[in-house]
Structure 1
Amino acid sequence: MNLITDSLPAIAIGMERNDQNVLKYPPKKKDESLLNKKSLFRISFEGIVIGLCTMASYYCGLKINTLAASTFAFATICLSRLLHGLSSRNEKPIYQIGLFSNKQSILAFLIGTFLLHLVLYIPLLQKVFLIEKVSLFQMIPIYIFSLLSFFLIQVKKCFL
């Protein structure tokens, strides 16, 4: 899962354009940790949001059966992490930096999403990943909760 949801977006983030205002920011203090209160809050908030959306999707899948619930959770966390790759490009909201300003990020998202759907719809891969086939209708909660996590993280970026 991490190969799809983390590797491609991380490489694409490395291709992000430089911030033209970088020299206007004050330097970090030499004794300041990378994991300061602000970054720990951001990491915690984003993890909790993705986790809650994944659990909500799992709950929707439980209405079918436990294997469907696991499949819903798997697909939701994968898609949420791919969307999170788009969101992690900058501390600013996506509308300020431009969704299409980094073509590699879009490509990473599309490739990851395509690979996820291969896993969800190819019977051999379903057996390997121990997931159940889901219909297009059953994909709706997966898409909704994945997009909800992306939206909530973007809203937080707008206000903080």
Structure 2
Amino acid sequence: MKRPIIALAGLSVAALMQMPAFAQVPPPPPTTPATIPVTKSCEDVSLSIYFPAYETMLSSYSMRAVNAASDQLAGCAVTEIKAEVTSEEAHTDEGLSHISEARATAVLNAFSARGIRAGDIETDVTPVTVTTTPAGQKATLARRVDVVLTAEPGYGL
């Protein structure tokens, strides 16, 4: 009776050794360290920051766009910032002309808080013609600040 049990135990061990977990051994790790070259390109960044109607505060989505642009420019020297404001409310009502300037200031302050500053900052808040659809409705996305950040490689790159 012991022989069949021993034979069964031997077959069980042999079957376990043929299972993929025991049969395939992963290759050893490489002996030489991997070198990954860091390629930093300081290309100009352009983005549009959109605002809700009659608002001058950045939304969370707008802050994520500012953060992503700031991360992309990390280690670069920003030489020029151009901000062009399109604001349908401010251009249709003279009493709301401060909205354009407040939106541009909010965007520039957000970049400044992330360490993106430039010696040359140009803000354009002149009236922009807002297009209308054939049905007479105002075009969407007419409340935005278009920003162009001109960058070049900084010191140490």
- TM class, shorter-length: under 0.3
Structure 1 or 2: more helix by fraction: 1
Mark the structure with the bigger radius of gyration. Answer: 2
TM-score, normalised with respect to structure 2: 0.25
TM-score, normalised with respect to structure 1: 0.25
Structure 1 or 2: more strand by fraction: 2
